[in-house]
Structure 1
Amino acid sequence: MKRRTFITGTSVAAAWSALSLGGAQLASAATRDRALATTAARAVNTAGTTLEQVATPSGTGSYKRLTAGPGWPLVVRGELAAPGAGRDDRRTGLASFVQFSDLHLVDTESPVRFEFLAKYNDSAYRPQEALNARGVSALVERVNSLDGGPYTGMPFSMVMATGDNTDNHELAELDWYLTVMGGGRMAQSTGDPTRYEGVQNSGNSGFWNPEVAYADVYKAKGFPQIPGFLSAAGRPFDAPGLKTPWYTTVGNHDDSIEGSLPDFGLLNDLYTGGLKLEGCDDATAAQLMDSLRRDPAGAVLLLAKLLANGEAVRRVTPDERRHPFTLKEFAKAHLNPAVTGAGPFGHGFTSDMVGSGKLYYTFRISEKVVGISLDTTNQAGFADGSLGTAQLRWLEQQLKDHSGHWYDTNGNRVTGGSTDDVILVFSHHTSGSMGNLLPDPRNIFEKRHDGNELVALLQRYPNVVAWVNGHTHMNKITAHGHAVPERAFWEINTASHIDYPQHGRIIEIADNGDGTLSLFTTLIESSAPYTTDFGSTSDANLAALYRELSYNDPNGRVSALLGAGEDHNTELLITKPTR
């Protein structure tokens, strides 16, 4: 759909948002069609995005198949600045890029995955996870197929992956992440390359056993039997890699066990060894879950006891590729020239950062837009994050260097800064998930700072227009600073690519020529077909199954993670920063 004369009808899109549930249920086809027509008229090109079409469930059974449904229209959000008439005709693009988040390249055969704890932690096991690398590769293919942003038409200057790039900070997972992003031949498999050695052929009724007719709890909910599924999931395939430069931000799953347990090396032998615990009784599982959260040493002792005496212990092929990496090793791997691909060299990391372990940096997104990537992980454990004092001070200096003016802690206006840029901040954690103030082992005496402190700091710098993050696996866009335009910014939180809806997000920044900026956020799905074939194990069908299986999440989280219409395809208005 090509851009036509601007139709003044933002109220139509607003009505759509009010009448939709997660952007998927229509109050009326007429309302939907008017909103989509308005959206198409304002865009340069909607093809290949959720402005055009969206995966939509069909069927009446408990297991839902997916098909192509109507797209989601643009929702204009004017909480922070009023939308001016005629702005489309004056629009000048400043930047266009893509966000990936929570890719979770996962080793499903790892001995240090405790899938049987899924009843206490729903991320411990997902029926689609063996297809994860193919699904992420299909998202890369989608980005490669697009000419640029749907509203500015600008080619993408970069892709930013905002953390949890790996699932359990294993070397194999890191290799898969770098290969999926940069391109190359890979297989999502460890241990014996000729056979699958995980819970999905264990015969345990609590997991989906796809290759056999065994009546597990998933098949009772309509999950299919797919002969050859596991061997196909682990076979090599060619990942195309991004054609666009890409950057990495770190997340808690990139630096800890299962994203929440501090790694002091106590489980290294289990990671690379030949025993995998695939289940235990409910009382012991609850005890282990509690120990993982509160008593890491006690958890190790309990695991050792279960591995020595438990009934559901499986012998697997030992593999040194499962060895956990440190954050310094994570950054160093990005400096390998073999993974540079579309660039830049290091993908945000430098040799100095490898030496210091300070994995935060500033980079240029476009001529007038600068990005700041933070490290919000806390290696004391637990999933949530925070910032140390040194990084907070570093961030404030970066904000000063790139701002024409700011406000001190007393509210006084200060003029300065060597450049006057539009600033975007990137992190893994959100403002609401930065409450982990435990001392970080990397600097045990350094004070930690929560999301409220970071919000307060960003609101002192008018050049900050957005904070882009992940972690929650949810689409959510929040306006900060309604009362004072110069103290306002948007927080853009995007869903994961391990759980449904498996979105990426295009973000475009445009100058409206009237004292405001528009941030257009457009969700994209992978290039995988919507329809699936239970009789096929082709690469395309495996990527399609990855999406469909995730939709049928037995934990009932789909609606919450999907978000509402105002969290999907939006135009976010904000006052343009001025010197």
Structure 2
Amino acid sequence: MQHNSAHLPSRRTFITGSALGLTALALAGCDRAQSPTPTPTTAPTPTLTSPTGAGTTLEARLVPGEKLDPTKPYRRLAADDGYALVVREDLCKGNPNRAGTRKALAAFGHITDTHILDPTSPAHTILGAFNTVAMDQMQRKLYYFRPQEALTVQVLDAMVRKLNAVKNGPVSGRPFDFYISTGDSSDNRGASEVNAFVDAMNGQKTSAFALPGRYSGLQSSGELPDALSRFIWQPVPPKSGSALWNNERGFPVVQHLLSSASKLITTDGSNVPWYSGFGNHDALVHDGVGMLGTPNESFHRALSTSDKIPLGLPPKIKFSDFMTKLNSSTATEAKALLESMPGNTVEASSLRRPMSKTEFMSAHVMNPGRHGPRGHGFTGENVRSGTAYYRFQLAPGIVGLMLDTTDTTGGGYGSLDAKQAAWLEKELNSISGIRYAANGTKVSTETKNQLAVIFSHHPSTTFSSKSLSVREKGDITSPESIQRFLGQYPNVILWVNGHLHKNVVWPRSSASGKHGFWEVSTASHIDFPQQARSVEVIDNRDGTLSIAGVMIDHSDAYQIDYSSPFTAAGLAAVSSELSMNAANSVGTRMDQNVELLLKKPF
């Protein structure tokens, strides 16, 4: 791996010195040619252990280092000692001698919230920034913009390369069986974004830029109106500067960042099978919350393929009046409204158009890659029915169940509609010889038991009925209802998800019987710490299981040379540093490198 930089000293020196036919896929609107089908490859006081974890945060972790300018807050990237495993016995006590008897049942790499983003898309416009009254009241917080937004493909490629290099679960040594993404693969569901995600996972040359090699967006060095300049970090600022990022926060001038970021990159691609999930940013209108089939969607659809990046509201109109007009407009009126907004002219591209759920899944089915599986979990039936949930054999004796917790009626909340809830119940019943009825009665059948691992974009804490416009009996729309439902099945041992952009681990005790499961949410790839998590399911062969979760940084700590062109690997390291200085939520020690104990259900 090449970097245009030298190693940065440790922070310690600063501190202490099923296939679908081509015709059907074409009707689904997929832009890609079909690839050949590959051959699949096969809260007590914590205690600490320290297994070997080369390449993971058991060995070393990224942290803020020295200041770039002593008078300003921006810090360089640095490395510090790794974190040892925190052994959590919230659900059951562990045998101190279990390391001598254990056997790994499965190991995989979890990535989530990659938010692959075309930063030159007009659809990336920050409309909320034009609400100057609200922004002044909020002190113009940084929510609307990420300085590292042009570097998302480079981060994903670096992460896949790192997972490939780590190779094995760091606790058990079992080779990774697969990698899995739990949604928000794209940021604005643009075709170039979705295709770049699939390409990077498959090891194809790619870019999220609809027009690779050319950057023309909000981070260009031209003058911006005040409403935007207060938010946007420009790597080469205009003469007036960018008060918030460069002058106040001390962000560096990085001459070649945008030209380097816009180039096509040769990705490594997963060297094991990989699976994919569906998130609210993959489903909904701008910022992953807007409802489909609305004037807001019509506006952003027109915006995505337009030749203008809006820089302000139409003349003599208040933000509230603009939004009222937008939300009551026809498709023709929405386009006219866009034309009335001042902005910069850019080259339009149909590759920025938003993809539907069907097209998202079709892009996966059409690109199985070297290791598959075909569809990366999604099947022809998923494409035909428009459902994004599926079952797969995670490992011998373990079933994986990918859920679709997004709600196309809008909002960033999670839920399961009645149809999917019934499917989930049927699938769990088919692998559960022992379960509990809703009234707590134990139910035993002749069904062969298998362990179950649940995957979804949303964690249980975000489940809500707030965004459901149509409600049916059987919907699962609250944290308590989904936890209670899964708690009826002793063989459900783990729920893996994302969405929160931070590392969190929750023990979920069952109200039925004396069992429970662990819920594990992993940080995003776009916000610091930009980590993946290795997950290992281990049979301790003493009546308990261990779920080992270890965080993995995609890049090492490097002293970045801001004046030279960048390799793709160097840009990934830049993204870590920029995101660390923007906003971050690493999680506590109890949420990062963990060994999670639970009783073996059978």
- Tell me the distance in 1 between the aligned counterparts of 2:78 and 2:464: 40
Q: How far apart are 1:302 and its partner, in Å?
A: 9.3
Matched, 1:545 2:574: yes
- Tell me the distance in 2 between the aligned counterparts of 1:339 and 1:481: 38
**Aligned positions of 1:31-430 closer than 5 A:** 39-40=49-50, 43=51, 45-60=52-67, 61-115=72-126, 117=128, 122-191=142-211, 193-201=212-220, 202-204=222-224, 205-206=229-230, 207-212=232-237, 214=239, 215-216=241-242, 217-220=244-247, 221-258=249-286, 259-264=288-293, 266-267=298-299, 268-280=301-313, 287=320, 296-297=327-328, 307-311=338-342, 313-336=343-366, 338-416=367-445, 418-430=447-459
SS in 2 for 1:449: coil
SS in 1 for 2:105: strand
Q: Which amino acid aligns with 1:155?
A: P
- Tell me the distance in 1 between the aligned counterparts of 2:322 and 2:506: 33
Query: Aligned pair in 2 of structure 1 residues 576, 545: CA closer, same or farther (>3 Å)?
Result: same
- Tell me the distance in 1 between the aligned counterparts of 2:473 and 2:330: 27
Which runs of no fewer than 5 residues in structure 1 stay unpaired? 1-23, 30-34
- Tell me the distance in 1 between the aligned counterparts of 2:320 and 2:537: 49
Whether the 8 Å CA contact 1:400–1:416 is kept in 2: the answer is: no
Query: Aligned pair in 2 of structure 1 residues 58, 362: CA closer, same or farther (>3 Å)?
Result: same
Q: Deviations over 1:207-248 (max 9, x none)?
A: 111124541021111111111221111011101111011001
Query: Aligned pair in 2 of structure 1 residues 406, 447: CA closer, same or farther (>3 Å)?
Result: closer
- Larger deviation: 444-453 or 108-117? 444-453
- Tell me the distance in 2 between the aligned counterparts of 1:535 and 1:368: 53
SS in 1 for 2:374: coil
Q: Which amino acid aligns with 1:197?
A: S
Q: Deviations over 1:385-417 (max 9, x none)?
A: 211101001101111111120000111111126
Q: Which amino acid aligns with 1:144?
A: N
What residue is the counterpart of 1:432 in the other structure?
461
Equivalent of 1:512 in 540, 553, 558: 540
What residue is the counterpart of 1:574 in the other structure?
598
Matched, 1:524 2:524: no
**Aligned positions of 1:461-476 closer than 5 A:** 461-476=489-504
- Tell me the distance in 2 between the aligned counterparts of 1:148 and 1:177: 23
Q: Which amino acid aligns with 1:39?
A: T
Query: Aligned pair in 2 of structure 1 residues 458, 483: CA closer, same or farther (>3 Å)?
Result: closer
Whether the 8 Å CA contact 2:414–2:460 is kept in 1: the answer is: no
Q: How far apart are 1:483 and its partner, in Å?
A: 7.0
Whether the 8 Å CA contact 2:531–2:552 is kept in 1: the answer is: yes
Q: Which amino acid aligns with 1:542?
A: L
- Tell me the distance in 1 between the aligned counterparts of 2:359 and 2:172: 38
Q: Which amino acid aligns with 1:414?
A: V
Aligned length: 532
Whether the 8 Å CA contact 1:98–1:507 is kept in 2: the answer is: yes
Query: Aligned pair in 2 of structure 1 residues 247, 271: CA closer, same or farther (>3 Å)?
Result: same
Query: Aligned pair in 2 of structure 1 residues 315, 349: CA closer, same or farther (>3 Å)?
Result: same
- Tell me the distance in 2 between the aligned counterparts of 1:318 and 1:124: 23
Matched, 1:502 2:556: no
Equivalent of 2:588 in 540, 564, 571: 564
Q: How far apart are 1:524 and its partner, in Å?
A: 0.3
- Tell me the distance in 2 between the aligned counterparts of 1:288 and 1:128: 32
Which runs of no fewer than 5 residues in structure 2 stay unpaired? 1-10, 17-45, 130-134
- Larger deviation: 282-291 or 315-324? 282-291
SS in 2 for 1:545: helix
Query: Aligned pair in 2 of structure 1 residues 49, 502: CA closer, same or farther (>3 Å)?
Result: same
- Tell me the distance in 2 between the aligned counterparts of 1:126 and 1:300: 30
- Tell me the distance in 2 between the aligned counterparts of 1:564 and 1:505: 15
Query: Aligned pair in 2 of structure 1 residues 291, 522: CA closer, same or farther (>3 Å)?
Result: farther
Query: Aligned pair in 2 of structure 1 residues 102, 150: CA closer, same or farther (>3 Å)?
Result: same
TM-score, structure 2 normalization: 0.83
Whether the 8 Å CA contact 1:140–1:241 is kept in 2: the answer is: yes
Query: Aligned pair in 2 of structure 1 residues 516, 113: CA closer, same or farther (>3 Å)?
Result: same
Whether the 8 Å CA contact 2:501–2:527 is kept in 1: the answer is: yes
- Tell me the distance in 2 between the aligned counterparts of 1:85 and 1:512: 11
What residue is the counterpart of 2:488 in the other structure?
460
Whether the 8 Å CA contact 1:439–1:448 is kept in 2: the answer is: no
- Tell me the distance in 2 between the aligned counterparts of 1:404 and 1:143: 35
Q: Percent identity?
A: 34
Query: Aligned pair in 2 of structure 1 residues 227, 309: CA closer, same or farther (>3 Å)?
Result: same
Q: How far apart are 1:487 and its partner, in Å?
A: 3.9
- Larger deviation: 266-275 or 162-171? 266-275
Equivalent of 1:533 in 549, 554, 561: 561
Query: Aligned pair in 2 of structure 1 residues 185, 300: CA closer, same or farther (>3 Å)?
Result: same
TM-score, structure 1 normalization: 0.86
Query: Aligned pair in 2 of structure 1 residues 353, 150: CA closer, same or farther (>3 Å)?
Result: same
Q: How far apart are 1:286 and its partner, in Å?
A: 5.6
Q: Which amino acid aligns with 2:49?
A: T
- Tell me the distance in 2 between the aligned counterparts of 1:291 and 1:126: 28
Q: How far apart are 1:113 and its partner, in Å?
A: 1.6
Q: How far apart are 1:194 and its partner, in Å?
A: 4.7
Whether the 8 Å CA contact 1:280–1:310 is kept in 2: the answer is: yes
Q: Deviations over 1:147-203 (max 9, x none)?
A: 300111101111110010011111111110001111111123224x45311100142
RMSD of aligned alpha carbons: 2.8
Q: Which amino acid aligns with 2:74?
A: Y
